[in-house]
Chain A
């Protein structure tokens, strides 16, 4: 009986939950610096998006 479980399916669920969190941590560390500069200085589209988003926020109460 690992971790006090008699049902292997519950044990598997318990362990895979922890392993999936570990997997996410490892993924984040391995990709920590990936995906930073795709725009190469052209921010027009994002500024337009941001302007629209601010307008949307302004319309909220």
Chain B
């Protein structure tokens, strides 16, 4: 407890200091002329990484890795190639230029102004406002599970306590000047994750020996999992088996591709001053992702060796089936008390850096995208300040309720749900908005709506994980889901994203393009 209180107080004091420092640096326009907002690439890299990678990866996806093994390594690959290189180079550079040219300050606003459509901005804002709290709840559940194990208190108490801390941070100015705060949080995350990665491999006799030990556990894979395609913790699942479809389409591709449509990340590109800053941030962000998700997923799988060697049981049994408790239990049992406290601080960093950017996106979605653009038709009024606050308070309550009603083993699933939904809804309109001048307003509307609704339809009627939980398909058709294997295991994004792509292209070709002056303005720097 001594370590916990000391580290937490130190962490909170430094976070508040950086938050104040960051806020002070953003308050005058003249700062900008004096290069006051020139962002160091290391700061940008750490800040972007800390916003992107949250407790969801460290607790949720690492827990999934403990169950399905090292196949999640492919998600680390996509996290770097798609989440960093493609996001920065293919999307980021043009997002920055177009954002400045169109004076856009939120992701829905960029889409709305590019297509000259208040509907696009308003609907995108509404979608974020309604569904992002699911992801925020997942992030907070991640740390609450750790607190539950570490302090041995009920989950609901841990969740409420951490949500209260986050709410205080957010309400008392924590959303202003997030850049330096999240960069500091990124430093804590990378240091503790590297420490965990090195010790986990070192104690098992090195990289090769650790992987061989993992391979040796193949006979202990539960029978039901073997039947569903599990071929061991250091092997890919059997091709086209139920587990293969689940791991590849939901866990790997859901988040791996869906990251492109994440509003709280895309908005970061617009704050940069030049492509040079962006180019220079790429190496730092990539290394950050490698040492956070790469380590988390590898260690997640290796927990099997640790639990088996020590207790002759698999981690899944030790946590009574709740995947979200595997990493907390592993850290709590196999590391010294001072490190466990330090790890909790790094989870606080991971949760707060991601959650504050989400609350920022949620607040501006309601005030700027829905209230000012969709309802007031572009008028800026003094009441917007109140509406922003209402948006944030609403989001905090929505997160609270969702967090308390969601079932166990949910962190990775809820994250993949939101990433996949954003991917299918936004990626075509976003990509074509940046690259195709012919893309039309009607196409953007149709693509966004078709991506969103086909995702929901697939979830409720075909994808067994959600259709069985919601029960709509059961009520309407008297079956759990409308199609059998493999359709019941294929992630909604895999179906909905191609649909929204095709809809965009077809509708663009048969409808009037966006007004010429809007297109000219959008592409003025490109």
Binding site for B on A (CB under 8 A): 1, 3-7, 9-10, 13-14, 16-18, 20-21, 23-25, 27-29, 31-38, 43, 45-54, 56-61
Contacts and interface: CB of A to CB of B under 8 A. Distances in A.
B251 to A, nearest CB: 13
Interface of B: 23, 26-29, 32-33, 37, 41, 69-71, 73-74, 76-77, 80-81, 84-85, 89, 93, 99-101, 103, 105, 170-173, 175-176, 207-212, 214-215, 231-232, 234-236, 270-271, 273-276, 278-287, 289-290, 294, 360, 363-364, 367-368, 384-385, 388-389, 392, 525
A9 B284 CA distance: 27
Contacts of B89: 27
A5 B211 contact: yes
A35 B274 contact: yes
A53 B71 CA distance: 42
Name the residue in A14, A28, A52, A54 with the highest tally of chain B Cβ atoms < 10 Å from its Cβ: A28
B100 A49 contact: yes
Nearest to B207: A3
Contact of A10 (B26, B73, B175): B73
Name the residue in A5, A24, A49, A53 with the highest tally of chain B Cβ atoms < 10 Å from its Cβ: A24
A29 B282 CA distance: 9
A56 B85 CA distance: 29
Contacts of A21: 80, 286-287, 289-290, 294
B286 A20 contact: yes
Contact of A50 (B29, B210, B282): B29
B388 A60 contact: yes
Name the residue in A5, A16, A21, A56 with the highest tally of chain B Cβ atoms < 10 Å from its Cβ: A21
A32 B388 contact: no
Contact of B275 (A16, A17, A34): A34
Contact of A53 (B105, B172, B282): B105
B294 A4 contact: no
Nearest to A22: B286
B103 A52 contact: yes
B84 A24 contact: yes
A11 to B, nearest CB: 9
B72 to A, nearest CB: 9
B108 to A, nearest CB: 13
Contacts of B175: 60-61
Q: Describe A's contact surface by its main secondary structure.
A: helix
Contacts, number: 171
Contacts of A35: 93, 274-276, 278-279
Given A48-B103, A60-B360, A61-B170, A4 B385 contact: no
Contacts of B280: 28, 32
Given A14-B73, A28-B283, A61-B175, A47 B29 contact: yes
A47 B33 contact: yes
B271 A53 contact: yes
A28 B282 contact: yes
Given A14-B73, A38-B274, A5 B234 contact: yes
A42 to B, nearest CB: 11
B93 A4 contact: no
Contacts of B364: 56
Contacts of B170: 61
A49 B71 contact: no
A5 to B, nearest CB: 5
Contacts of B85: 20, 23-24, 27
A24 B77 contact: no
A57 B176 contact: yes
Contacts of A18: 290, 294
30 contacts: A4-B207, A4-B214, A7-B234, A10-B70, A13-B70, A13-B73, A14-B70, A14-B73, A17-B80, A20-B77, A20-B81, A21-B287, A21-B289, A24-B85, A24-B282, A28-B279, A28-B280, A33-B276, A35-B278, A36-B275, A38-B274, A43-B33, A46-B273, A50-B32, A52-B105, A53-B26, A53-B105, A59-B388, A60-B392, A61-B363
B20 to A, nearest CB: 14
A37 B275 CA distance: 9
Given A4-B214, A47-B33, 6 more contacts: A5-B211, A7-B234, A17-B77, A23-B81, A23-B85, A61-B392
A20 B207 contact: no
Given A27-B282, A43-B33, A50-B37, A1 B212 contact: yes
A59 B103 contact: no
Contacts of A51: 29
A50 B287 CA distance: 30
Contact of B290 (A17, A32, A58): A17
Contacts of A6: 215, 234-235
B362 to A, nearest CB: 11
A45 B5 CA distance: 47
Contacts of A3: 207-208, 211
Nearest to A51: B29
A37 B176 CA distance: 28
Nearest to B287: A21
Contact of B105 (A7, A9, A27, A56): A56
Contacts of B99: 49
Contacts of A10: 69-71, 73, 234-236
B101 A45 contact: yes
A1 B266 CA distance: 41
